[in-house]
């Protein structure tokens, strides 16, 4: 996993989770406490409510990406950028400033005016965006999006997120955002929950991850909360996201999110092992799909993926004959079988590939055992 340096701020496995606070200079943005059009008031908000509360990065949005509003042109964003630049000049605290935009012209003007980073919500749909970010050597968050400057993040099928993230390549300092939220009419909250379940897969690119999940519908729906009462679900998801590999968390609730992220970090497995001349990294893999993404990056045949995850499974109520059948098949399939002392209990230790071979090796057996074998973890 590479570490990205954003204006002196390291982002990656070796660094603490980074908190991205949000300021909007767009009157149509839905979260009103973060919306300002007076630079002085905005700067005070950034200092007291974002930086002082623990924000490492301040992301300034020029327009709402809500699908209900018309898309602002590059010229329209440039008009609002003047306010954003005044805010940056007026802030007294220390943070990395990120401009949220979809246009390379806006990104370039923002960087020349003092911004340190770009948050591209259209994921390089503007093909000039990676050139600008590389030319100025700035970090850029790339959100999964169709190749359309008017449709940010409108990806429904999780598998299609990968093609979107790869659109127009990466820079050396690209941070990946799989895009959570209701960016299109077709995208459902279940699509977002599936993306969250598979968050570790995106680590397969070997690049830092950003998540924007603060008070999102896919979390509120689980607990039956409205936006005002959704802080608790956001914090639970934040800890989970960091444990699963997120490096940057974008939020309006800075202090609380920082605490939740630190809890997630405290219970995250050690991934980087110091070894001297050679780098050793334990890949964070709990499913075949996650292993497959790492193998794709390495250019390895993903047939290896099914052997990359070990899944212990316990059976109960196994008869003597069923045990004998399983024992013989397990030896053939390369699955370890350990018998318990009572209750017909067995422990199987194998990979998804091994369990697939076990199914094929068992042959004719009892309906109960056949059903049990169908429930073995194959992914």
- pLDDT tens-digit map of 238-284: 999 999 999 999 999 999 999 999 999 999 987 766 666 777 888 88
CB count in 10 Å sphere of residue 297: 13
Is 7 a residue whose pLDDT tops 90? yes
Is 70 a residue whose pLDDT tops 70? yes
Note whether 245 and 284 are within 8 A (CB): yes
Note whether 265 and 16 are within 8 A (CB): yes
- pLDDT tens-digit map of 319-349: 989 999 999 999 999 999 998 877 789 999 9
Helices vs strands, H then E, count in the chain = 13, 15
Tell me phi and psi for residue 291, to 5 degrees.
-65, -40
Token readout for 156 is 């429904």
Beta bridge partners of 139: 117
Half-sphere exposure for 232 (CA within 13 Å, toward CB): 7
Cα 43 to Cα 66: distance, rounded to the nearest angstrom: 25
Cα 307 to Cα 304: distance, rounded to the nearest angstrom: 5
- pLDDT tens-digit map of 103-160: 999 999 999 999 999 999 999 999 999 999 999 999 999 999 999 888 888 888 899 9
- pLDDT tens-digit map of 273-300: 666 677 788 888 888 988 888 888 888 8
Cα 72 to Cα 81: distance, rounded to the nearest angstrom: 12
Note whether 57 and 247 are within 8 A (CB): no
Collapsed DSSP state (helix, strand, coil) of residue 120: strand
What domains sit in the chain, N to C, each tagged with a CATH number?
Answer: 4-268 (3.20.20.20), 310-374 (3.30.1370)
């Amino acid at each position: 996993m590479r570490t990205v340096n954003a204006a002196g701020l390291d982002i990656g496995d070796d660094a603490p989770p980074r908190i991205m606070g949000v300021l909007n200079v767009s009157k149509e943005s839905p979260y009103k406490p973060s919306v300002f059009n007076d630079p002085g008031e905005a700067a005070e908000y950034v200092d007291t409510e974002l930086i002082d509360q623990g924000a490492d990065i301040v992301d300034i949005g020029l327009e709402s990406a809500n699908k209900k509003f018309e898309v602002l042109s590059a010229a329209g964003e440039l008009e609002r950028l003047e306010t954003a630049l005044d805010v940056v000049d007026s802030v007294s605290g220390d943070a990395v400033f990120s401009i949220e935009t979809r246009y390379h012209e806006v990104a370039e003007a923002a960087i020349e005016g003092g911004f340190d980073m770009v948050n591209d919500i259209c994921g390089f749909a503007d093909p000039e965006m990676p050139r600008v970010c590389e030319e100025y050597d700035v970090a850029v968050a790339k959100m999964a999006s169709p190749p359309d400057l008017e449709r940010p993040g409108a990806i429904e099928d999780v598998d299609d997120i990968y093609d979107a993230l790869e659109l127009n390549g990466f820079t050396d300092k690209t941070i990946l955002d799989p895009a959570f939220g209701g960016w299109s009419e077709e995208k459902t909250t279940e699509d977002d929950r599936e993306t969250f379940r598979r968050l570790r897969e995106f680590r397969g690119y070997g690049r830092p991850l950003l998540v924007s999940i603060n008070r999102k519908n896919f979390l509120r729906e689980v607990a039956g909360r409205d936006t005002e009462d959704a802080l608790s679900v956001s914090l639970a998801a934040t800890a989970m996201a960091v444990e699963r590999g997120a490096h940057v968390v974008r939020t309006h609730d800075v202090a609380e999110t920082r605490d939740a992220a630190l809890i997630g970090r405290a219970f995250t497995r050690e991934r980087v092992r110091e070894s001297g001349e050679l780098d050793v990294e334990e890949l964070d893999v709990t499913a075949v799909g996650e292993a497959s993404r790492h193998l794709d990056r390495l250019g390895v045949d993903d047939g290896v993926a099914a052997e990359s995850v070990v899944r212990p499974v316990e059976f109960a109520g196994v008869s003597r004959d069923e045990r004998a059948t399983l024992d013989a098949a397990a030896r053939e399939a390369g699955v370890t079988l350990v018998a318990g002392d009572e209750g017909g209990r067995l422990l199987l230790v194998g990979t998804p590939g091994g369990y697939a071979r076990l199914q094929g090796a068992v042959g004719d057996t009892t309906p109960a055992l056949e059903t049990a074998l169908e429930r073995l973890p194959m992914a």
